[in-house]
A and B are shown apart, each in its own frame.
Chain A
Amino acid sequence: MHVVEAEIREPLILGEKSYNDITEDVCAPIEGKANALWYFVFGLAGLLALWGVGNILYTVGVGIGVWGLNKTVGWAWDITNFVWWVGIGHAGTLISAVLLLFRQRWRMAINRSAEAMTIFAVMMAALFPGIHMGRIWQAYWVLPLPNQFGSLWPNFNSPLLWDVFAISTYFSVSLVFWYIGLVPDFATVRDRMVKPLPKKIYSILAFGWSGNAKHWNRFEEVSLVLAGLATPLVFSVHSIVSMDFATSVIPGWHTTIFPPYFVAGAVFSGFAMVLTLMLVMRKVLRLEDYLTLKHIEYMNIIVMLTGSMVGVAYLTELFVAWYAGVEYEGYAFMNRATGPYWWAYWSMMTCNVISPQLMWFKKIRRNLVITFILSVIVNIGMWFERFVIIVTSLHRDFLTSSWTQFHPTYVDMGVFLGTIGLFFVLFLLYSRTFPVLALNEVKTILRATGEYGVKGSSSHGHDDHHAEPVVEETAAPVVEEAPVEAPAAEEAAEESTETEEESNDETSEEGDNEENKEQE
């Protein structure tokens, strides 16, 4: 059974692709050479990352004092960055797990990169709880390891400990989920690879995938199980992160609304970051046919929805602060809005509450430039949200005698910029070495009426659709390489046809299953 969609729906993949076209398009960045722009951006990100690593080493070598913290404000940029990155790391798993369970097939075009983004963002996030420790060399004490100190265990009451478990679980499940999804695609890349070393590497990564029905069966089952596992994690991670604050006594932190509010905020910022990255990637890697306006519009709707949820949460906080009549909490919110950090509060309000509301207009949510700008603005806003929650609550809490101001140092900024650099280094490397689309899954949503598939495979050679823009727009070397690549490509084409057939079978199988389930 093929997927049948109503005419009125926009197709998920444009450009009348054949299965082979998909394989070609996705494998092109891996097999081709990067252009100057890639090297430029990579170099820039690398420099930032190095600067960040330097600042981290300086912090670890000299002491946390090189940051701007003080006796009253014990966390500032460190935990702000941590929560921000964790939030960004939310979209990937949400897309791949939750949308998988909800059978949102449009996710297939974006889930691979969104998951990659998740992995990298969580890596960046995990850095901060480590380096913010005064004695990072004792960091392993937060793990419940058997030890020689007697029966000395971590404090299971501490939300910080829950964080350790939540983040590490989330990270490992996300990583496994991502990798499982990659296996068939790695196999495709392996099969196309000519150079011996990459071929060897990809064959290791492909885990002996041969594409037989048994493999596909297991693949589907594992994916479903992992999706089931990952879904609660999407909600638990940020709930637990929010408990770092919610379980404390500090006015402005001590709020029961935090778990849903944080999860909504995380999805909000995660989708914004996915948008930022995808909009660049679809342009650079020429994936316009796969990441269509429809995808962008869907994501914008999610951004708008979660942004509105965040907005409601902000207003609820204000209402509760007033309604509860607690002196300290009332002041905490008064101080946020009118105190020395009013600019941070109003930046947050503008970026997170007002800007997503523009998405109500179809023209705006289908406009790539505006979407890109708004996605960046949302992420700036979300960074400010965490800054506002952490710093403005801490800097003026109960005892007025201890009120202070927080002034960041260049090391604070350096570490943050460094993680952005490092994130992009990883993402750029990923985009050149990994199949950036789940190519085997994407094929299942190709409107494969047979017409396209046949046309695609038979007309290869005549149809230079995917090669054309390369010739036109990018540097010469690609053109020079084209003849060298040709035989390999032909071989690959043959192979991929096989794969396609298999996956077609698989798809129909899946379709049957789905149908059966639906009937049940």
Chain B
Amino acid sequence: MADNKKYWKGIEELEQTPEFVESSQKEFAEYVPVDEFLGNASEDTSATNRRDFLKVLGFSVTAATLAACEAPVTKSVPFLNKPEDLTPGVANYYSSTFFDGFDLASVRIKTREGRPILIEGNNDAPLGGAVNARVNSSVLSLYDSKRAKGPGLKVGKSWAKNVNWSDIDSKASKALRSAAQSGKKVVLLSNTVISPAAKGAIDTFGAYVGAQGGAFEHVQYDAISAAGVLDANQKSFGKRVLPTYNFDKAKTIVSFGADFLSTWLNSLVYTKDYAKNRKPDGAWMSKHYQFETSLTVSGSAADVRGALKPSEIAEAVKYLYGAVGGNTKGNVPASIAAKLDKAAAELKANRGESLVVAGSNNGGVQVLVNAINDKLGNYGTTVDVEKEVYTRKGSDVAFSKLANQMKAGKVGAIIIAGLNPAYVAPASVGIAEALGKVETVIYTGDRYDETTDFANFFAPSSHYLESWDVLNPAKGEYSFVQPAINPLFRTRQWQESLLKWSGNDSSYEDFVKGTALSFLGSEGSWIDAVHDGYYSGGAVAAAPVVAQDTTAAVEDVVAEPAEAVSYGISAGVVANAVKQATVAGGALELELYVKTGLGNGNQAFNPWLHEMPDPITKMTYDNYITMNPDDVMDLFGEDKASKDAKRAFLYIGQESPAKVVTLSVGGQELKLPVVPQPGQALGTAAVAIGYGVKGTEVFTREEWLGDLFDAEDNSNNTIGTNVYPLLTQDLWVSNVVTEGVTVTPVEGATYPMATTQTHHTMMGRKLVNETDLATFIEQKGKAKDKGGYNETILIADAYGEKKTTKELDLWEEHAIDLGHRWGLSIDLNLCIGCGSCVTACHLENNVAVVGKDEVRRSREMHWMRVDRYYSSTVEEIGKITDFNQFPNALDGKQAYLDAEVSDAGDDVTVTYQPLMCQHCNHAPCETVCPVAATTHSDEGLNQMAYNRCVGTRYCANNCPYKVRRFNWFQYDDLNIPAFPDFAKVNHQQDDLGRMVLNPDVVVRSRGVMEKCSMCVQRIQGSKLEAKKDGTTVQDENISSACSSACPTNAIQFGDLNDKSHKVGVEKDDDRAYLLMEEVGTQPNIYYQTKVRNV
């Protein structure tokens, strides 16, 4: 019915008129004036219809909207033409040499995409192929944004900005010229210059000054002076040079305060040689006696150690001279005399194969030491004066003379290079007054520091990684310095500046090449020499400062010992030396020592070195007074007999800051924190030099300085305190003060100390396994058997049957015998605790620097550390016979409490243990991670997937070795609210500092766990190389950062399943043991028992 009905709107529709039909087809019934919008085109003819319009509209709106949310733009500009020797992702290595007047090392620099990122030893080089922490950390000082960005010119009292080198050159030349013409002296003050090219530049400059009618003088002064040794050799042999010490040829070594494994002269060369005979497995093992004041790295490595006051050390030298047949008598305590007698007997038994050295800068002591070595027939064998070493040339006398001349106004201009005299000079020199009297002072340091305050021209020199040079460290030995990067800032090597100011426009690079060609001969050998980094032998055309002995043949270090030469040092010389050596002793004597981390202070701006714990004290960031614990107790009126009092009073930790004392030396007063140091001679205090450099206040903060914070003058808030002014000088600059030293407590004042280890004893546990040489020899082949020094710890099962942890294991085995199994073998006998591995690990793995406050809270990020233990008498490890007792006689509450106190007086035994992730085959960390972020690789590595980590820290808790490190903050964040701005205090984390990052290793974010990866990126690299060569990975082609940085080769890295690798053999050694094997973790790190030659 309904569908019959028709509805219509109008008559048109009903009728279906053509007009209606037409309009009904249209979209709009009404006329829409589209044409008017479309301009000329009509609606019908236009291709743009409504739909298109809407499409366009929609698209534009969307596009405009999307454009508003802009994605961050990262610009990556590829090379248009690939540089010939640069492939992104592939490292380039350059040979170079590190010499800062203190350390000498032939190095290999790793660069990535043009950035130097790692420094390793150049093992092929004859001199100093090893590196220490100071050398390998030096790459970070290149990227120090606090370095001077360009030259400076003093206008009035302030430095003009944006000075050009041409301004400096014209104005400095003019000033130098007028100084020369005025008839006053023009002086170059530098540290030891061992570069023949630099010498040439200096000569050129000297000649220019002479041509202007002035007198020129070059004065060399070393911050850590060795003038005593040099002058003694002058007196003994007529040559002011260092001899070559062959520590590898010495069966008995006696050192009087010479820390030859860390800071004394060419310590890196000595360390390498020393380590050659410190393994008990060889034909013989050297025996090392050390008599010293504060506990040093060498002292801790020694087999027999005696603690002496500085004044007593000279007496001990005299005593020894008497004991080996000389005619002197020394006044030493009975216990030391016994040790010296024993040493003398052994020295005499090993005539020509023994070595006596002394660290003192007293010429008298050094002459006596020369006389002892002469008596023992060591010249020509272990000490070689014919093979001269030039790395120290400084003259203390010349320096103080210069200061006097300056004060007298006789110096018109002074150029200072490689030395910060206003910082390093002893107070008695009066350097401030002297520099103030000189009209033209040109400084070529790398930043605005103490000396720039006195300068009127600042011509900053380049970093050694940006420099050219040729060095002549020893007779017939050349070492080359080549840049690994263009200068980052507008700096120029000071040698080039000297050339410029003497009107010579040649670049120093050409000058170096010219000098080198004079003895290399051809362009080809120049390229080879620079490539190798060293050149041995050949005639020396440009003679170094010291007249050359043409009769001496170039000796190979490892050659057979030559026939001993006797110099027969005359009785008169000895008598005079005795007079010079004798000093009056005081109740309290002060030693100013050089610390392993900072050295002479050249690198006081290097956060890696600040954060590397001192090998002995394990303190970071500061210098402090060390005193024997008993002395500290006395000083504060505590009962030193009570172990409970000692434990409580001497503890320094997060909320237990150090006490502060006032140190007063001859009118100078300093406030310093005091740190109790077992093993230090009673009645002595020792402070490290190298701290308190101007500018280091940027590293620190008010709350980090405790009661020593200076609210008024921030420039006093440096890291540590400068104690160079406390050095004394008569004939030589002396680092000991024996009279007029007092220490008084500052009531109630405290100073927070950041230490990485607060507990110092092993509590009777088998952590560092130790034995003596006799036991070692006796038990050859059966040390792991019942009762041996390296007894395997057995555990009783449910039936009381003793079994190894492996037999008791509930776990499924990893297939550890298949394929590679990477591991380390660490010889505790060779480890000297120097910390080179710690900083190398920092470099290689982008480990964050966290600052003093975080270290104080025990949050340092070190992937590897070196644990240091003192043996305590309660622990009975000090007694050699009780090494093997485990578990020992720790019984009852008081015994445990007493064992915590390292109460060995000044007769302490120190052991080191490098500790990194043990890469356990049954890793406790792996099972507990809820998200499986840490897993085991089929090559034996315990891997960490940072991306997967959610940060529960369960793995770290369950790690028996406590090697896992948590990122408590975003350590590279520039803006952490309310908490230390890490990038501000540590330039490793600022924009420039990050250039040092290894691109192969990811930078970890906040909230994730990290740890030693056994340098998996290096393993991968070596595997790829081997694959390309079609071989397996060879032992010599693979290393971890720590193993390659170790100067004594204590750390070996390789494939435990491959007998062609050292570790593959060493893991089955008698001495090999696993740390805390009884926990059942089955680590891939093997330790080799320490054997003391007592």
Contacts and interface: CB of A to CB of B under 8 A. Distances in A.
Interface string B686-697: 000000000000
A458 interface: no
A155 B930 contact: yes
Nearest to B954: A160
A164 B930 contact: yes
B342 interface: no
A489 interface: no
A135 B1007 contact: yes
Contacts of A331: 763, 896
Between A70, A139, A337, the greatest number of chain B beta carbons within 10 A of the residue's beta carbon is seen for A70
B951 A72 contact: no
B897 interface: yes
A129 B954 CA distance: 11
A74 B953 contact: yes
A71 B864 CA distance: 13
A334 B896 contact: yes
5 contacts: A133-B1007, A134-B951, A142-B930, A155-B931, A249-B1081
Interface string B889-929: 00001001100000000000000010100000000100111
Contacts of B759: 396, 400-401, 403
A404 B886 CA distance: 24
Interface string B948-971: 111111101110111011111110
A69 B896 contact: no
Contacts of B1081: 249
B337 to A, nearest CB: 35
A75 B957 contact: yes
Nearest to B891: A330
Contact of A134 (B758, B896, B967): B967
B869 interface: yes
A84 to B, nearest CB: 18
A64 interface: yes
A419 B729 CA distance: 66
B979 A66 contact: yes
Given A63-B969, A75-B953, A397 B655 contact: no
A249 B960 contact: yes
Contact of B966 (A71, A394, A397): A71
Contacts of B976: 62-63
A71 B962 contact: yes
Given A63-B1007, A71-B860, A249-B924, A404 B966 contact: no
Contacts of B965: 71
Interface in A243-257: 244, 247-250
Contact of A402 (B927, B932, B953, B962): B962
B877 to A, nearest CB: 12
A161 interface: yes
Contacts of A334: 893, 896
B957 A248 contact: yes
A159 B928 contact: yes
> How would you classify the secondary structure of chain B's contact residues: helix, strand, loop or mixed?
loop
B978 A134 contact: no
Interface in A394-441: 394, 396-405, 407
A134 B966 contact: yes
Interface in A212-248: 244, 247-248
Contacts of A401: 757, 759, 767, 865, 867-869, 913, 915
Interface of B: 653-655, 757-759, 761-765, 767, 854, 857-860, 865, 867-869, 886-887, 893, 896-897, 913, 915, 924, 927-932, 948-954, 956-958, 960-962, 964-970, 976-979, 1005-1009, 1076, 1079-1081
Contacts of B954: 74-75, 158, 160, 244
Contacts of B767: 399-401
A405 B655 contact: yes
B765 A327 contact: yes
Contacts of A477: none
Interface string A62-87: 11111011111011000000000000
Contacts of B977: 61-62
Contacts of A69: 953, 966, 968
A404 B653 CA distance: 8
A248 B654 CA distance: 27
Between A71, A139, A250, A338, the greatest number of chain B beta carbons within 10 A of the residue's beta carbon is seen for A71
A343 interface: no
A138 interface: yes
A133 B950 contact: yes
A405 B854 CA distance: 14
Given A62-B969, A401-B915, A402-B962, A135 B949 contact: yes
A157 interface: yes
Given A62-B969, A404-B758, A397 B962 contact: yes
A76 to B, nearest CB: 10
B936 to A, nearest CB: 12
A160 B951 contact: no
Range class of the A interface residue count:
35 or more
B763 A400 contact: yes
8 nearest A-B residue pairs (beta carbon): A134-B951, A134-B1007, A65-B968, A74-B953, A401-B867, A70-B858, A402-B962, A155-B932
Contacts of A75: 953-954, 957
A146 B1006 CA distance: 26
Given A72-B962, A134-B950, A398 B1079 contact: yes
B965 to A, nearest CB: 6
B441 to A, nearest CB: 46
Nearest to A401: B867
A133 B979 contact: no
Given A142-B931, A247-B928, A134 B893 contact: no
A400 B765 contact: yes
Interface string A184-202: 0000000000000000000
B968 A132 contact: no
A64 B1007 contact: yes
Contacts of A319: none
Interface string A128-161: 0100111110110110000000001111011111
Contact of B957 (A134, A155, A250, A407): A250
Contacts of A338: 893, 896-897
Between B757, B931, B961, B965, the greatest number of chain A beta carbons within 10 A of the residue's beta carbon is seen for B931
A68 B1005 CA distance: 20
Contacts of B927: 155, 157-158, 247
Given A63-B979, A401-B757, 18 more contacts: A65-B859, A71-B956, A74-B957, A134-B1006, A135-B950, A142-B931, A152-B948, A153-B932, A155-B931, A158-B928, A160-B928, A248-B924, A249-B1080, A337-B893, A397-B962, A398-B961, A400-B763, A401-B767
A66 B949 CA distance: 20
Interface in A277-327: 327
A228 B763 CA distance: 51
B924 to A, nearest CB: 5
Contacts of A136: 950
Nearest to B1075: A399
A250 B958 contact: yes
B929 A399 contact: no
B887 A327 contact: yes
Contact of A399 (B867, B868, B887, B950): B867
A17 B566 CA distance: 117
B764 to A, nearest CB: 8
Contacts of A397: 960, 962
Interface string A485-508: 000000000000000000000000
Contacts of A161: 930
Contacts of A135: 949-951, 1005-1008
B20 to A, nearest CB: 57
Contacts of A407: 654-655, 857
Contact of B929 (A138, A158, A398, A403): A158
A154 B948 CA distance: 10
Between B758, B950, B1006, B1076, the greatest number of chain A beta carbons within 10 A of the residue's beta carbon is seen for B950
